[in-house]
């Protein structure tokens, strides 16, 4: 017993050096004679096969300096894990401070190599001792104990995933819930026949690497990390106003950005912002962009090295052009999309993390809404478990603009904000939504939409215009470079756990200790090589982008060629109307948008030009009328095709008396279907109100219609006529009852 204790002490001292030492990830591979196999994964240890299903996690934890190998560059993947070793790894993963090693247990003295970690883990509530006052640091951890222990690092709630039918473990077992979660997440596997878990079999170092590696990248809270970035000046003038400062600073080469920083690109400038996973932003001349919030997520790269992905990026594009490339792990896979994303991903987005207390990802459908118990229940019923959060399609980039917002899931997109506040969004590839005026439109690859006025809804998605395509062709070198970076850093699908060998349960419960450095090396334990798993392949994102750019270039060329002559299939414009033919505005007040409707809807060219008869009174740009000074001006919309025109009279007033109310001369009407119309007269108060204009609406146009107060009965039924003042949105109503036409006598 005393000899065994000395061996353990020496082993502990050796291991303590190993835990504080570093195994260089790549510098020593050549010296060790290692080569990179066909699958691209190079083992960091001589006794871990590149075909081992757990090599990604072993490499990952080694690169993160959580698990270390031994001086002879071995890992001992089949060695069993003691309670002391588990405590050390747990403390490192949790980031706990060990402090002074005060004795808590009779068998863990202050000089014991893992005393500080054991005491810290116990103090934090992760581990407990035995009733006899001992900790038993050299006892082996079982598979059930290991899962239960490391899952304590997670603060996510149990979503109730079912435990599969097993011969050696049921729902009454003390570790039923950790095992159910461990199997669902891929932290642990079953025997080859899928009938046993072997809860009492020893936990190996390879098993432990998988359990912790999967947890660290799949738990939303544990995976959250700082998102590094770099702003690189491509050319010209680029300035940054740091958060909390009022003084812009000129950037000559490159710098890092922080939340709240504002980037200003000069008329001769171009810049790009890059992120570790290949995500990037390309900013053109006269662009002003604020980085509001960034958040990263840890993942495991295909070689087992640590990676950081863009988890959340909130931007505010005040003006100019922004091209974006968002790296995603689901862009070309059939991953499940998050529920209710049409409304939730836009209206509910805010700077806060979209994580509910229930431990599942969901974006609330009402911005600023208080999360109630009912909300949590609904969210739980509609959301995916926390370990599937990274595989769901959800918004990761939000771009605020003066009149609306774009929400991006992936992958390549463009936002343009014009000086008058109008904006345009187009997608080369991927998915997204645009929100404005309380409405949302979904967009797919090859589509664009625009918002032409304050509080105006987005236009229905349409194919990319020639100008859109030309923009991408001009920016193709940047797009291809980003595509290559995204491809290089692409997050792989984590391999499933290997089958658990029944022999594991038959091994004696004793430690497998590495030889002391002073003694001759013993033969290495045999490498347990797992069956080769089928490779999971993704379409090359570089090929996708190259094809998209090529198609854009071809479309732009064909459009340019066709514009030189007339097309026999073109549809000519035959008229234009405006949504308002008169406006009353306050000098220096808020702009108001006029909307031009070009006919027919199938017209090939629906563009219009806008002019003002008196720009000293009111100016117009793309339909947005800005009042300047008292007077009157005529706003004219003229179609590019056919030169059809329509006008609106704009009256601008210096003094402004607000509308306080509106009333109707009748509160109810009884009419006959198909009979004589009736006129309602609206009175706006006060009598000297600056803008006395009103609008009319019917609650049921199948019963009655209304135009300028003229109520026309259509069919029997009841409907409400509402008059609304343009200034102040004051309303009055009239109940209209329409009786059926009496039969002919």
- Say whether pLDDT at 333 is over 70: no
Do 108 and 163 belong to one domain?
yes
- Say whether pLDDT at 688 is over 90: no
Query: How does strand 717-725 pair with strand 731-739?
Result: antiparallel
The mean pLDDT of 435-463, rounded to a whole number, is 91
Do 705 and 616 belong to one domain?
no
Residue with tokens 């409707």: 597
For the chain, give the mean pLDDT: 81
Do 261 and 119 belong to one domain?
no
Q: What are phi and psi of 673, to 5 degrees?
A: -55, 125
Query: Could you report the per-residue pLDDT of 653-671, keeping only the tens digit for each?
Result: 988 899 999 999 999 999 9
Do 202 and 308 belong to one domain?
no
pLDDT computed for residue 573 by the predictor? 81
547 in any annotated domain: no
535 in any annotated domain: no
Confidence band for 523, pLDDT divided at 50, 70 and 90 = very low
Do 307 and 401 belong to one domain?
yes
Query: Could you report the per-residue pLDDT of 577-595, keeping only the tens digit for each?
Result: 888 888 899 998 888 888 8
Is 422 in contact with 624 (CB distance < 8 Å)? yes
- Say whether pLDDT at 337 is over 70: no
Domain residues for the domain of 101 are 2-221
**Which position has the higher pLDDT, 338 or 402?**
402
Q: Rg of the chain over CA atoms, in angstroms?
A: 34
- Under DSSP, the state recorded for 271 is E
Residues 617, 654: Cα–Cα separation, whole Å: 11
The angle formed by the CA atoms of residues 325, 328 and 330, to the nearest 5 degrees, is: 140
**Where a domain ends, among 221, 244, 261?**
221
Q: How far is CA 537 from CA 53, 193, 335, 491, 711, in A?
A: 17, 27, 14, 11, 65
Confidence band for 332, pLDDT divided at 50, 70 and 90 = very low
The total number of structural domains in the chain stands at 4
Count the alpha carbons within 13 Å of 469 in the hemisphere toward its beta carbon.
20
Name beta bridge partners: 725. Answer: 694
Do 151 and 188 belong to one domain?
yes
Residues 48, 61: Cα–Cα separation, whole Å: 14
Query: How does strand 661-664 pair with strand 682-685?
Result: antiparallel
Confidence band for 253, pLDDT divided at 50, 70 and 90 = very high
Is 611 in contact with 597 (CB distance < 8 Å)? no
Do 619 and 690 belong to one domain?
no
Residue 701 sits in a domain whose CATH number is 2.60.40.1080
Do 59 and 181 belong to one domain?
yes
Name beta bridge partners: 255. Answer: 231
- Under DSSP, the state recorded for 525 is P
Do 115 and 162 belong to one domain?
yes
Do 243 and 271 belong to one domain?
yes
Query: Could you report the per-residue pLDDT of 14-70, keeping only the tens digit for each?
Result: 333 333 333 333 333 333 334 344 456 899 999 999 889 899 999 999 999 998 888
Is 275 in contact with 311 (CB distance < 8 Å)? no
Is 99 in contact with 116 (CB distance < 8 Å)? yes
User: Cis bond leading into 496, ω under 30°?
Assistant: no
Q: How many residues does the chain have?
A: 745
The mean pLDDT of 562-572, rounded to a whole number, is 57
pLDDT computed for residue 606 by the predictor? 81
Three-state secondary structure string covering 332-394: CCCCCECCCHHHHHHHCCCCCCCECCCCCECCCCCCCCCCCHHHHHHHHHHCCCHHHHHHCEC
472 in any annotated domain: yes
242 in any annotated domain: yes
Query: Helix (H) and strand (E) counts for the chain?
Result: 13, 34
The mean pLDDT of 110-128, rounded to a whole number, is 90
**Which position has the higher pLDDT, 605 or 160?**
160
Do 147 and 272 belong to one domain?
no
371 in any annotated domain: no
Q: What is the pTM of this model?
A: 0.66
pLDDT computed for residue 241 by the predictor? 96
Query: Could you report the per-residue pLDDT of 279-318, keeping only the tens digit for each?
Result: 999 999 999 999 999 999 999 999 999 999 999 999 999 9
**Where a domain ends, among 463, 488, 513?**
488
87 in any annotated domain: yes
Is 398 in contact with 349 (CB distance < 8 Å)? yes
The mean pLDDT of 473-501, rounded to a whole number, is 90
Is 662 in contact with 693 (CB distance < 8 Å)? no
Is 241 in contact with 264 (CB distance < 8 Å)? yes
CA torsion 468→470→475→481, rounded to 10°?
A: 90
**Where a domain ends, among 221, 250, 279?**
221
638 exposure class (CB count in 10 Å sphere: 0-12, 13-18, 19+): middle
Residues 692, 96: Cα–Cα separation, whole Å: 69
Do 602 and 700 belong to one domain?
no
673 in any annotated domain: yes
511 in any annotated domain: no
**Range of weakest confidence among 377-391, 513-527, 625-639:** 513-527
Cα 673 off chain centre by: 54
**Range of weakest confidence among 65-69, 77-81, 198-202, 233-237:** 65-69
DSSP, collapsed to helix, strand or coil, labels residue 609 as: strand
């Amino acid at each position: 017993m005393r000899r065994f204790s000395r061996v353990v002490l020496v082993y502990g001292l050796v291991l303590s050096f190993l835990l504080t030492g570093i195994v260089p990830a790549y510098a020593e591979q050549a010296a060790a004679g290692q080569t990179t196999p066909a699958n691209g994964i190079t083992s960091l240890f001589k006794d871990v096969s590149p075909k081992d299903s757990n090599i990604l996690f072993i490499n990952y934890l080694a690169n993160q300096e959580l698990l270390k190998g031994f001086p002879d560059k071995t890992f001992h993947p089949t060695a069993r894990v003691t309670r002391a070793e588990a405590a050390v790894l747990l403390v490192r993963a949790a980031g706990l401070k060990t402090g002074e090693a005060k004795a808590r247990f009779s068998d863990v003295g202050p000089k014991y190599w893992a005393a500080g970690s054991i005491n810290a883990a116990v103090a934090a509530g992760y581990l407990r001792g035995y009733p006899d006052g001992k900790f038993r640091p050299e006892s082996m951890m079982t598979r059930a104990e290991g899962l239960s222990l490391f899952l304590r690092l997670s603060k996510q709630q149990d979503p109730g995933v079912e435990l599969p039918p097993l011969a050696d473990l049921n729902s009454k077992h003390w570790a039923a819930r950790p095992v159910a979660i461990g199997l669902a997440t891929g932290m642990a596997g079953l025997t080859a026949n899928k009938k046993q878990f072997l809860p009492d079999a020893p936990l190996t170092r390879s098993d432990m690497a998988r359990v912790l590696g999967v947890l660290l990248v799949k738990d939303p809270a544990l995976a959250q990390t700082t998102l590094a970035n770099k702003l690189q000046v491509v050319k010209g003038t680029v300035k940054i106003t740091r958060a909390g400062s009022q003084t812009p600073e000129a950037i000559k080469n490159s710098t890092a950005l922080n939340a709240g920083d504002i980037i200003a690109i000069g008329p001769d400038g171009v810049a790009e912002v890059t992120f570790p996973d290949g995500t990037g932003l390309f900013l053109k001349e006269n662009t002003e962009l604020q980085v509001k919030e960034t958040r990263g997520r840890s993942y495991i790269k295909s070689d087992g090295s640590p990676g950081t992905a863009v988890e959340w990026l909130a931007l505010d594009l005040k003006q100019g052009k922004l091209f974006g490339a968002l790296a995603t792990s689901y862009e070309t896979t059939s991953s499940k999309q998050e529920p209710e994303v049409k409304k939730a991903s836009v209206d509910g987005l805010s700077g806060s993390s979209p994580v509910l207390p229930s431990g599942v990802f969901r974006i609330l459908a009402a911005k600023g809404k208080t999360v109630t118990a009912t909300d949590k229940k609904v969210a739980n019923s509609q959301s995916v478990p926390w370990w599937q959060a990274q595989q769901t399609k959800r918004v990761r980039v939000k771009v605020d603009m003066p009149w609306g917002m774009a929400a991006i899931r992936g992958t390549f997109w463009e936002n343009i904000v014009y000086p008058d506040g109008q904006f345009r969004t187009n997608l080369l590839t991927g998915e997204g939504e645009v929100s404005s005026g309380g409405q949302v439109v979904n967009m797919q690859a090859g589509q664009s939409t625009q918002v032409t006025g304050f509080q105006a809804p987005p236009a229905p998605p349409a194919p990319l215009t020639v100008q859109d395509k030309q923009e991408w062709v001009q920016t193709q070198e940047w797009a291809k470079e980003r595509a290559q970076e995204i491809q290089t850093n692409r997050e792989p699908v984590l391999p499933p756990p290997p089958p658990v060998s029944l022999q594991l349960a038959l091994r004696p419960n004793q430690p497998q200790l590495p030889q002391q450095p002073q003694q001759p090396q013993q033969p290495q334990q045999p490498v347990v090589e797992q069956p080769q798993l089928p490779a999971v392949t993704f379409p090359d994102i570089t090929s996708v982008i190259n094809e998209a750019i090529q198609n854009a270039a071809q479309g732009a060329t064909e459009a340019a060629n066709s514009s030189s002559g007339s097309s026999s299939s073109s549809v000519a414009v035959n008229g234009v109307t405006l949504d308002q033919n008169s406006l009353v505005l306050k000098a220096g007040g808020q702009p108001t948008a006029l909307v031009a409707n070009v006919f027919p809807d199938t017209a090939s060219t629906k563009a219009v030009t806008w002019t003002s008869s008196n720009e000293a009174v009111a100016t117009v740009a793309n339909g947005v009328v800005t009042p300047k000074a008292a007077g009157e001006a005529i706003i004219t919309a003229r179609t590019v095709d056919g030169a059809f025109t329509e006008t609106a009279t704009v009256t601008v007033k210096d003094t402004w008396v607000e509308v306080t109310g509106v009333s109707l001369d009748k509160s109810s009407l009884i009419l006959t279907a198909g009979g004589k119309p009736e006129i309602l007269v609206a009175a706006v108060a006060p009598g000297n109100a600056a803008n006395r204009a009103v609008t009319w609406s019917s609650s049921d146009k199948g019963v009655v219609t209304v135009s300028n107060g003229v109520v026309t009965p259509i069919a029997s039924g009841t409907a409400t006529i509402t008059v609304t003042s343009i200034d102040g949105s004051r309303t009055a109503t009239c109940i209209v009852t329409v009786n059926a036409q009496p039969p002919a006598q």
